[in-house]
Amino acid sequence: MRARDAADGLEHLDDATVLQRLEAAKRAMSRDLLRDPVTLARGLDPTFRLRPHLRLIGDALAGVTSGDYDRLMIFTPPQVGKSTSVGEWFPFWWLCLYPADAVVVTSYGDDLALKRGKTIRSYVEEYGDEYDLRMKAGSGAMQDWSVTLGGGVRSVSVGMGLTGHSANLLIIDDPHKDRADAESEASRIALHDWYSSTALKRLQPDRNAVVGIQTRWHPDDWAGRRLTEEGRIEDGGRWKVIHLPAIANPSKFGPDPLGRRDGDPLPHPKIRTRDRRALLAWWADMKRTSIVRDWHSLAQGDPQPAEGALVSEALLRLIRDTGDGVTPQKIAVAVDPSGGGRDTAGVVGGFLGDDKRVWITRDVSAAMSSAEWSTAACRLAYETDAAVIYVEWNFGRDMAVLALSNSWEALQREGVIPADVLMPAIMPIRAKQGKLLRAEPVAQLMVQDRVRLRGVLTDMEREWSTWMPTDPDSPGRIDASTILVYGLIPEANKGAIVHAPLPTAPQQGTGAAQQSAAAGLYGRRIRR
């Protein structure tokens, strides 16, 4: 378009002048594309699909050359365009700006590294003339080639020697082959040693940068060790981190780089950005077809160790069941309200079956305010026909009971719950022991096959299979499921929780639902 615009009004000029001006317009347009690697990719490759997260990545990469930082990490789920943008277009863009620089691209295997090197070379051969970037004669090796102005690209697998090769830009692209490789302590030690003793020693003093893109597999993987040892920029450290989980969770990971709210999906190059339904369906399918740890590692960038957890993933798979043929004897909802410095409220549902097992059937836990978690609990109680709502009383005390009562009345006024449906009993409980002493007996009941999961409850399983007794955090799903089990199997409770006292009389002006809660009604909801 710009070249055609430049041609307007040139019909009275001689051919040489017209050609000169058109060439100048073309050069100006080519230079404009060098704003960042993603802009370059979009301008040169008609098949490149620009998405908001790729624009963000392009801006972050441009920040490396502008001197904002010299260490950058990018975490995204697989197949969203990060490797194409960072591992292929970024090195070509860098050479367009600094044709005398040496670029080193590394990955877990020679084949992947070689593929990156071939692609970068193809960009030089196809588009390089526009940027005075040309292959050096006799530079035939795909793994190690140079351009006429002195720079070039070397592509090797991590762990390989770089003796005799300098680097102004070092790209670490998926340094771990898979989970088994990342969970091997020997492999991790070898990778950390290679990075510190070999790769970093090839960086040049005049200009150098390290950019890492990877799937997170383990807390002590390549990225985890770098952040532990060198820290994030916002904490006074060295690394700029772009963390883009498949499903946004600012309450856990901090402000989302794209400004997404909790539950918002990450864009995908092959799905229209505004098609929220399709994006959510895509990520839901990935979640459904992934084991718990893989979903949180690959898709959410939140790796957790399995060693030392109270419950193993294998056990959680064994206790999944459809529950067909089991008759509920008592249905309940359990709530661990948000509070005590934690934003996530645990809200789960289940029942005691005629097989004497507790069946956990629903998990609607999320980052919620008191109005939101109480509404979610009341909805779940109505949907499951629960007879009782157990609610932890430690944070908020009587306010937790009041929040539930108010939410039930509000849902009835809105017509969500019919007016003739009585509210379930509210049973406040108070934890007398720490999380470990409360959770261990429930974990043991899982081992004894006294607790089963109706289907796959991905987020709950993740908390049970990764939470460590030494962890300072307080996962709401573990607390809520523990409350549910203790409520439905009282004999399992060895003093870990006790029923908290209810208000002796309803406060003036309270509604019928609040009076029922204050009176401590206990039993199945009845319909008039």
**To which H or E segment does residue 428 belong?**
strand 425-431
C-alpha pair distances (Å), 201 with each of 110, 166, 170, 204 = 21, 9, 11, 8
Higher pLDDT pick, 271 / 516: 271
Question: Has residue 521 got a pLDDT over 50?
Answer: no
Structural domain spans, the chain: 1-35, 36-285, 313-519
pLDDT of 60-97, one tens digit each? 999 999 889 999 999 999 889 888 888 889 999 999 99
Cβ distance 51 to 81 under 8 Å? yes
Q: Residue 306: what pLDDT? A: 63
**CA pair distance 405, 509, nearest whole angstrom:** 13
Question: Has residue 400 got a pLDDT over 70?
Answer: yes
Pull the structure tokens for residue 367: 């980052």
Q: Residue 237: what pLDDT? A: 94
Q: Categorize the per-residue pLDDT at 523 as very low, low, confident or very high, splitting at 50, 70 and 90.
A: very low
pLDDT of 122-135, one tens digit each? 999 999 988 889 99
Question: Has residue 308 got a pLDDT over 80?
Answer: no
Q: Residue 29: what pLDDT? A: 67
pTM, rounded to two decimals? 0.66
**CA pair distance 203, 167, nearest whole angstrom:** 5
Pull the structure tokens for residue 363: 């998990």
pLDDT of 226-282, one tens digit each? 999 999 999 999 999 999 999 999 988 889 999 999 999 999 999 999 999 999 999
Q: Categorize the per-residue pLDDT at 21 as very low, low, confident or very high, splitting at 50, 70 and 90.
A: low
Choose from 182-191, 230-239, 496-505 the range with maximum mean pLDDT. Answer: 230-239
Sign, CA dihedral 279-284-290-295, equals: positive
Question: Has residue 507 got a pLDDT over 70?
Answer: no
> With DSSP H G I counted as helix, E B as strand and the rest as coil, what are the percentages for the chain, rounded to 5?
45, 20, 40
391 forms beta bridges with 335, 428
Fold designation for 313-519: Nucleotidyltransferase; domain 5 (3.30.420)
Choose from 137-141, 391-395, 479-483 the range with maximum mean pLDDT. Answer: 479-483
Place of tokens 């009345």: 409
CATH number, domain 36-285: 3.40.50.300
The phi-psi region of residue 325 (left if phi > 0; otherwise alpha if psi is between -120 and 50; otherwise beta) is: left
Cβ distance 366 to 312 under 8 Å? no
Give 12's contacts (C-beta < 8 A, 6+ positions apart). none
**CA pair distance 296, 318, nearest whole angstrom:** 20
Strands (E), 16-159: 71-75, 102-107, 144-146, 152-157
Q: Categorize the per-residue pLDDT at 419 as very low, low, confident or very high, splitting at 50, 70 and 90.
A: very high
- Burial string for 391-419 (b: 16+ CB within 10 Å, else e) reads bbbbebebebbbbbbbbbbbbbeeeebee
pLDDT of 337-362, one tens digit each? 875 445 678 999 999 999 999 999 99
pLDDT of 437-469, one tens digit each? 678 888 888 988 999 999 889 889 888 887 776
Question: Has residue 3 got a pLDDT over 60?
Answer: no
Please tell me the number of Cα atoms within 13 Å of 341 on its side-chain side.
3
**How large is the average pLDDT for residues 177-182?**
85
Q: Would you give the end-to-end CA distance of the chain in angstroms?
A: 72
Q: Residue 20: what pLDDT? A: 64
Question: Has residue 509 got a pLDDT over 50?
Answer: no
Question: Has residue 387 got a pLDDT over 70?
Answer: yes
